[in-house]
Chain A
């Protein structure tokens, strides 16, 4: 099964479970969790079920397209179900079957793994899912987001698409994976992998990036003061990505590092709080719409 078919299969599967199919969010980010479709929507009492593919940028993992296992940008298939349904594990296992993975021919396990992202004031408990010893999915029950308690609790399922594909397609090099028939990951991503790595480690303008960080941070604060949560959050994502670029280049000293993380965290916390307040102010509209939406 090529990656494109895997995505289609997963979309169909989770769509059948009542998930909204969303598209990747158009601001750079390190993980699908950071999309507002997850991070903001998992806050507050409103139900929220969503699935989307998220290209995730990890500048420090860039290897000029030379390492068979590491990428500047990989793809996650992200599912959020709030509140987490009682049969969420079964729904997940069914998705593996839909991908052609027969549990009777494999060894599938849920191994404890607790997730924490201090930058976002977020923490959750759950597992990494092992398929014959390989971690293919991160499965988390959110307990805290943006420093606020997650109530109700969302279940987050994050498939590492390249990982899973390397298993399904039995390939050892990520660049040999088939995206669709006749087109490989390497065909599409070799050049950007090389160029982004080169940019990140050698060519980026650090002064400009430091400057951008401050500008984005100020703009996030300003948008927040105006009660504009989503624009503010976009700038927080930009701060986060800018920080990652600087960090990967090794130009942030240790003492500064803690300071930068704290700055992003403070912003994320304020935004989380304001988001919930804003939703409350407009009466948590999706609490009422729940019934209608499921029939549409």
Chain B
């Protein structure tokens, strides 16, 4: 017979953001639990509303399968004494297995006969095992737990009831003083407390009580109603998947409705209107088919269609107050000036030890200035860079950003334009926050990119200087994302600058300001390590394999696009038959060079021609190689190194590097070390694992 088991944990309203993860855990843990109990089943379904977490198992077996196994005991000669009677050992063994001596038989293993019995364990009936589910309920992890009343338990929200059914029987257990039963609760206002007679009927019973317990079904109901409304009205309703999920987790019985607001509010930038609707009210904004924002919103009620007009009117009123605020802020902000706002930045703390936002801006200006000079930007562009840096944060003290922090930069751009700043500067203010999220859009303009890099570099180096280093899930200033952003921008712009140069100039600035409370060496080392991890992450994201990542980063990150270029070239070479000899030659040089620190050669000490030839080739190749490197031409650089391959092979064929005469030995190692240094400038080729057999 197949059975159905149902567990429902009734809770005070769970935070919407907890639910998806809780359901994943509930499913995995239930599966594990049933597997551990050796209970066969057909399906596990998890369900949830704000007020309940549910798991339902169908096709569950009546009992654990019986187990028949052979148990091995003592050897025959120990089991039977000289008179042919069972010894204590044999009796004890059979008893221990729940059997008697009559059940014993012998079986030969590697030439010796041993006592055996067939052991039979009867499976436990399912219903005796189910009460253990309480442990599983308590094992769910939530982002935040709480206590309530006088109880000790910590859980996401107070547990108010427990329904636990094995077909039509209650599975008895309790958590704190809440006892399991057959009862569940319907919708807070449209439903009531009700008994579930049989686990199979659970969803039906709840549906009658205005609870759609299946998350996917509830989401589908919302999506369908929105779709229908959009068609009726010829609207484009902006259905954001995250918002749809959140709204699904805020209601038990969804009914979609719409409301409107005055067209007068459309003078406010639409980003602010949309944020007001989405973030604050969980409404879906509405656009016309032609793209412009329309003064309507779509929302979901936790309830049925009755008195829906009343609900819509109430929501309209709330939104109106919010938008009136937004419009007030927008108008107020325009009465100020950029200069007045900048004054206020000196009262806004960035980080206790790193000073105010105004202090940060001053450092950003210096970094942006130095970077502009390094890049030899035209005076007109440099002027834009410096102006952007100077006013990059002025919008932080506007009412609008105070109310909608996610609009930082976006409002800056709009206000800058209103206050008569250059179009380039206005756009760059917005761009300097890019990328705003993982794989987000990068700044397009030069000023936007320069200031973005300077701003992020300041935050990273500043934090490292005072020992705020991301670890585990701790990264309060988003330093990881900032570092990745810097690398992505350097890659995109392909400027002639090395990452290390940038980082060092920032560290120098901090030293000159006396800010670090750690030694320069430590800071630089931590920063290098930090950027190294981000760079290897980025390369791996682009499909570069780990060994090649290690090879090209061995000598630092340097020029980002060139480093990527080298990685791609090496990836293509690893299957290239013709590269075999070069790789072997260069690899041997790298290995042997490790044995010395000498970096010079005395041609007088050469004993054979291959030494001289190798040295000559090195001198010939060196210039062309250096030029290729500075042109960031990976192909030519590797080709130049390749010219050394034959001379290296010849050298090894005819020369004993580890000569007995120490001077000669050192001279030969010195020659190899000179060459190795050049190879390292390209990559640590020995890190590359050549997959193909040559």
Task: Please determine whether B281 and A133 come into contact, CB atoms closer than 8 angstroms.
Answer: yes
Tell whether A16 is near chain B: CB-to-CB under 8 Å: no
Contact of B144 among A67, A104, A125 (CB under 8 A): A125
Task: Please determine whether A257 and B349 come into contact, CB atoms closer than 8 angstroms.
Answer: yes
- A85 vs B299: C-alpha distance in the bound complex, in angstroms? 33
How distant is A201 from chain B, measured CB to nearest CB, in Å? Answer: 15
- Chain A residues with Cβ below 8 Å from B147 are 141, 143, 150-151, 153
Task: Please determine whether B149 and A86 come into contact, CB atoms closer than 8 angstroms.
Answer: yes
Since A112-B13, A141-B147 are in contact, a sample of 10 more A-B pairs with Cβ atoms closer than 8 Å, ordered by chain A residue number, is A104-B189, A104-B306, A111-B13, A125-B146, A132-B311, A133-B318, A152-B150, A153-B147, A254-B347, A254-B348
- Chain B residues with Cβ below 8 Å from A110 are 12-13, 50
- Chain B residues with Cβ below 8 Å from A150 are 147
Count chain B residues whose beta carbon lies closer than 8 angstroms to a beta carbon of A.
45
Q: 5 tightest A-B contacts by CB? A: A132-B314, A112-B15, A110-B13, A254-B349, A152-B150
Task: Please determine whether B347 and A250 come into contact, CB atoms closer than 8 angstroms.
Answer: yes
How distant is A145 from chain B, measured CB to nearest CB, in Å? Answer: 13
In the complex with contacts A131-B314, A141-B147, A253-B306 CB distance below 8 A: no
- A105 vs B303: C-alpha distance in the bound complex, in angstroms? 10
Most chain A beta carbons < 10 A, residue from B50, B190, B303, B306 = B303
In the complex with contacts A106-B307, A109-B250, A133-B315, A85-B12 CB distance below 8 A: no
Task: Please determine whether B302 and A103 come into contact, CB atoms closer than 8 angstroms.
Answer: no
The residues in B between 1 and 30 inclusive whose CB is less than 8 angstroms from any CB of A are 12-13, 15-17
How distant is A131 from chain B, measured CB to nearest CB, in Å? Answer: 7
Contact with A along B575-593 (1 / 0, CB 8 A): 0000000000000000000
The residues in A between 130 and 176 inclusive whose CB is less than 8 angstroms from any CB of B are 131-134, 141, 143, 150-153, 155, 167, 172
Tell whether B573 is near chain A: CB-to-CB under 8 Å: no
How distant is A157 from chain B, measured CB to nearest CB, in Å? Answer: 13
The 11 listed contacts between A and B (C-beta, < 8 Å) are: A106-B310, A106-B311, A107-B301, A109-B13, A125-B157, A127-B13, A133-B281, A167-B317, A254-B349, A255-B349, A257-B349
Contact with B along A193-233 (1 / 0, CB 8 A): 00000000000000000000000000000000000000000
Task: Please determine whether B13 and A105 come into contact, CB atoms closer than 8 angstroms.
Answer: no
- Chain B residues with Cβ below 8 Å from A22 are none
- Chain A residues with Cβ below 8 Å from B348 are 254
- A40 vs B55: C-alpha distance in the bound complex, in angstroms? 42
Tell whether A108 is near chain B: CB-to-CB under 8 Å: yes
- Chain A residues with Cβ below 8 Å from B160 are 86
How distant is A260 from chain B, measured CB to nearest CB, in Å? Answer: 13
- Chain B residues with Cβ below 8 Å from A132 are 310-311, 313-315, 317-318
- Chain A residues with Cβ below 8 Å from B299 are 133
Most chain B beta carbons < 10 A, residue from A93, A133, A152 = A133
- Chain A residues with Cβ below 8 Å from B613 are none
- Chain B residues with Cβ below 8 Å from A85 are 149
B residues within 8 Å of A by Cβ? 12-13, 15-17, 50, 144, 146-150, 157-158, 160, 188-190, 250-251, 281, 299, 301-303, 306-307, 310-311, 313-315, 317-321, 324-325, 328, 347-349, 352, 356
Task: Please determine whether B307 and A83 come into contact, CB atoms closer than 8 angstroms.
Answer: no
Task: Please determine whether A108 and B189 come into contact, CB atoms closer than 8 angstroms.
Answer: yes
The residues in A between 240 and 254 inclusive whose CB is less than 8 angstroms from any CB of B are 250, 253-254
- A151 vs B315: C-alpha distance in the bound complex, in angstroms? 38
- A6 vs B565: C-alpha distance in the bound complex, in angstroms? 73
- A52 vs B54: C-alpha distance in the bound complex, in angstroms? 40
How distant is B153 from chain A, measured CB to nearest CB, in Å? Answer: 11
Tell whether A274 is near chain B: CB-to-CB under 8 Å: no
A residues within 8 Å of B by Cβ? 67-69, 83-86, 89, 93, 103-112, 114, 125, 127, 131-134, 141, 143, 150-153, 155, 167, 172, 250, 253-255, 257-258
In the complex with contacts A253-B347, A254-B347, A258-B349, A93-B188 CB distance below 8 A: yes
- Chain B residues with Cβ below 8 Å from A255 are 349, 352
- Chain B residues with Cβ below 8 Å from A93 are 188
- Chain B residues with Cβ below 8 Å from A83 are 149-150
Contact of B149 among A89, A152, A258 (CB under 8 A): A152
- A112 vs B13: C-alpha distance in the bound complex, in angstroms? 8
- A83 vs B302: C-alpha distance in the bound complex, in angstroms? 30
- A152 vs B152: C-alpha distance in the bound complex, in angstroms? 9
How distant is B256 from chain A, measured CB to nearest CB, in Å? Answer: 12
Most chain B beta carbons < 10 A, residue from A143, A151, A155, A254 = A254
Closest partner residue, chain A, to B306 (CB atom): A104
How distant is A70 from chain B, measured CB to nearest CB, in Å? Answer: 9
Closest partner residue, chain B, to A125 (CB atom): B146
How distant is A148 from chain B, measured CB to nearest CB, in Å? Answer: 13
Closest partner residue, chain A, to B303 (CB atom): A107
- A67 vs B328: C-alpha distance in the bound complex, in angstroms? 10
- A71 vs B120: C-alpha distance in the bound complex, in angstroms? 79
Closest partner residue, chain B, to A124 (CB atom): B146
Task: Please determine whether A107 and B306 come into contact, CB atoms closer than 8 angstroms.
Answer: no
In the complex with contacts A103-B188, A141-B147, A250-B347, A172-B317 CB distance below 8 A: yes
- Chain B residues with Cβ below 8 Å from A258 are 349, 352
How distant is A96 from chain B, measured CB to nearest CB, in Å? Answer: 11
- A109 vs B14: C-alpha distance in the bound complex, in angstroms? 11
How distant is B102 from chain A, measured CB to nearest CB, in Å? Answer: 60
- Chain A residues with Cβ below 8 Å from B158 are 86, 141
